[in-house]
Amino acid sequence: MITRKKIIAGNWKMNKTSADGVALVRDIVAAVGKQADVEVVVCPPFTGLEAAGKALEGSNVRLGAQNMHHEAAGAFTGEVSAPMLRAIFTTHVILGHSERRLYFGETDETVNRKLLAALKNQLRPIFCVGETLAERESGATLKVVQTQVERGLEGVGKDHAPSVTVAYEPVWALGTGKVATTEQAQEVHAFIRGLLVKLFGEPAAQKVRILYGGSMKPSNAPELLAQKDIDGGLIGGAALEARSFVELVNAAAAAR
Ligand code: 13P
């Protein structure tokens, strides 16, 4: 049986100045910087990436961005590219977050372009999918997730598949305090695993980590992380304080 190393990734969204981010990273490094059983990733805003990267140097904590453009360079005012992220030792990049789809017009097609560009540049995508409340209530959850997964991963070869991490984030659970039940989450995670098997074959699909995101916190994490297909968490609010984030890393270590 394959054991997948769990990932706890903090999506800071539009929070923390560079200096505040450094302070948070220092606290995280002091507590779990040597953690080798869980992949720990922090994703500051662009302005805080480089300083956070320096603060985590020498630890096992990894650096992620929250978005990128699919082109390497050019006339794209306000954008940042994969080679630029790589140059400051970014290893991961969140792509297709529902807030980007909702507020910034990202589509399955643009997310797919970014994902392919990230892989080409040896960045590990944390690829987000998830349904809205209206979609869940109309019974469309699995169909919506299927379309996002299939379109987002178009053109990814099976050799690259294990570098991709999928994050299932039901939109209605983001920042709302409403968490999906373990059964709701595991159902969608298992469904995503099945889609990955169809796309990449069993061995590659079994290596892909599928994270849950949506009001995950120390009180609900152990039960979620104990599920067969829940390989970690993409954390918003609880990633903004060292204490709760570190507790989540420890919960993931205990759930191995
Ligand atoms: P919350 O943990 O604040 O619900 O946010 C989750 C999220 O959107 C992570 O990407």
In CATH, what number is assigned to the domain containing residue 71? 3.20.20.70
Atom of ligand 1 nearest to the CA of 176: 4
pLDDT at 180: 87
pLDDT at 1: 62
Is 182 domain-assigned? yes
Is 183 domain-assigned? yes
Distance of CA 204 from the midpoint of ligand 1 (Å) = 27
The total number of structural domains in the chain stands at: 1
Residue 226 φ then ψ, to 5° = -80, -10
Domain that holds residue 179: 7-232
CA angle 12, 14, 19 (to 5 degrees): 75
Q: Show which residues are catalytic.
A: 97, 169
Q: What is the pLDDT along the chain (256 residues), one digit of tens a residue?
A: 678 999 999 999 999 999 999 999 999 999 999 999 999 999 999 999 999 999 999 999 999 999 999 999 999 999 999 999 999 999 999 999 999 999 999 999 999 999 999 999 999 999 999 999 999 999 999 999 999 999 999 999 999 999 999 999 999 998 888 888 999 999 999 999 999 999 999 999 999 999 999 999 999 999 999 999 999 999 999 999 999 999 999 999 999 6
pLDDT at 253: 97
Distance of CA 201 from the midpoint of ligand 1 (Å) = 30
Is 36 domain-assigned? yes
Atom of ligand 1 nearest to the CA of 175: 4
Nearest CA to ligand 1 atom 1: 236
pLDDT at 26: 98
pLDDT at 13: 98
Is 253 domain-assigned? no
pLDDT at 246: 98
Is 245 domain-assigned? no
